[in-house]
């Protein structure tokens, strides 16, 4: 009865040299004993699954399987479901998150991943579109810019592995602060997580988050929000948000999603004289 790790990745994770993020996911999933199931549904590129298969095999992962869910009927395939039953880790590739939600949503595959993550210790990682799809609410699209606006973002139901956050990716590279703020302002219950490229949030079963990668992770915390003009804003109007908290964390930084406490990376002690 153990919840697995959640590992959203901001996209364009480093794969050639150290591949720090992917290697750490593989280790958490069991290393040599890991059984990783790759779900390339979001991607239209034919070699997406094979590239990740090669990477995980190179890391020494015990078993790597690709599950080509191209149509909703594929999500009832008993052989694919058996692979997910045995998996210790699931990896959702990048691409188009609406392909994920429209293909997997409401199917035995989605139900099985949710149940095994919640009580069976299944670790789930996703990059780019795969990261956005993880949570209860998913950003399906939106505009660039730093200022939140009333109609800046489209939200749809996601996979539902957590209701505690909304995830956005390619964050700094595509100037997505405004659409994350807009997403949170509709109903300021979850936190917002904005992931730069080659940056991941490793979220443990106790909902403690650690940043890994070369970029930054932006956290929008609305728990102390005093005022939002979202209810009265006209179409494309800017939205006023008062007393919303924002943290920017880099590698080694941590955040407790339950207590809403952020900490920088631990610094090494000064050497004794």
Please pick, among 117, 170, 185, 228, the residue that the annotation labels catalytic: 170
Angstrom distance (rounded) from CA 180 to CA 217: 13
* Cβ neighbours around 43 below 10 Å, total: 22
Catalytic residue list contains 170: yes
Angstrom distance (rounded) from CA 37 to CA 17: 23
Residue found by looking up tokens 């939106």 in the block: 142
* Three-state DSSP class for residue 144: coil
Question: 221-245 as b/e, with b when 16 or more CB fall inside 10 Å?
Answer: bbeebeebebeebeeeeebebeebe
| Tokens linked to 37 | 């199931």
Q: Which of 212, 205, 223, 197 is nearest to 249 (CA)?
A: 212
Q: Judge contact between 1 and 116, C-beta under 8 A.
A: no
Helix axes 108-119, 78-86, angle to 10 degrees: 10
CA 124 to chain CA centroid, nearest Å: 9
Report phi then psi at 51, rounded to 5. Answer: -65, -45
Please pick, among 101, 128, 132, 228, the residue that the annotation labels catalytic: 128
Catalytic residue list contains 214: no
Q: Judge contact between 9 and 131, C-beta under 8 A.
A: yes
Please pick, among 43, 123, 137, 197, the residue that the annotation labels catalytic: 197
* Three-state DSSP class for residue 82: helix
Which residues carry out catalysis?
128, 170, 197
């Amino acid at each position: 009865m153990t919840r697995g790790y959640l590992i959203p990745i901001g996209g364009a994770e480093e794969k050639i040299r150290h591949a720090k993020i992917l290697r750490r996911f593989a280790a958490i999933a069991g290393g040599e004993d890991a059984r990783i199931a790759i779900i390339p549904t979001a991607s239209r590129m034919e070699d997406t699954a094979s590239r990740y298969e090669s990477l995980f095999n190179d890391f020494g992962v015990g078993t790597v399987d690709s599950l080509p869910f191209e149509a909703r009927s594929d999500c009832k395939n008993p052989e694919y479901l058996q692979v997910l039953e045995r998996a210790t880790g699931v990896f959702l590739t990048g691409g188009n998150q609406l392909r994920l939600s429209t293909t997997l949503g409401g199917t035995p595959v989605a139900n099985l991943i949710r149940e095994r993550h919640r009580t069976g210790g299944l670790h789930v990682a996703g990059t780019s579109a795969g990261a956005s799809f993880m949570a209860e609410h998913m950003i399906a699209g939106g505009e660039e810019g730093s200022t939140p606006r009333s109609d800046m973002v489209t939200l749809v139901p996601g996979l539902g592995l957590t209701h505690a956050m909304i995830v956005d990716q390619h964050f700094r590279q595509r100037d997505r602060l405004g659409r994350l703020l807009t997403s949170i302002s509709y109903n300021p219950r979850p936190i917002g997580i904005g992931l730069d490229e080659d940056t991941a949030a490793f979220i443990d079963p106790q909902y403690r988050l650690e940043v890994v990668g070369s970029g930054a992770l932006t956290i929008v915390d609305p728990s102390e929000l005093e005022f939002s003009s979202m209810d009265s804003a006209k179409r494309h109007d800017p939205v006023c948000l008062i007393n919303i908290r924002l943290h920017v964390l880099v590698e080694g930084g941590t955040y407790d999603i339950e207590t809403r406490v952020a900490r920088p990376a631990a610094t090494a002690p000064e050497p004794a004289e």
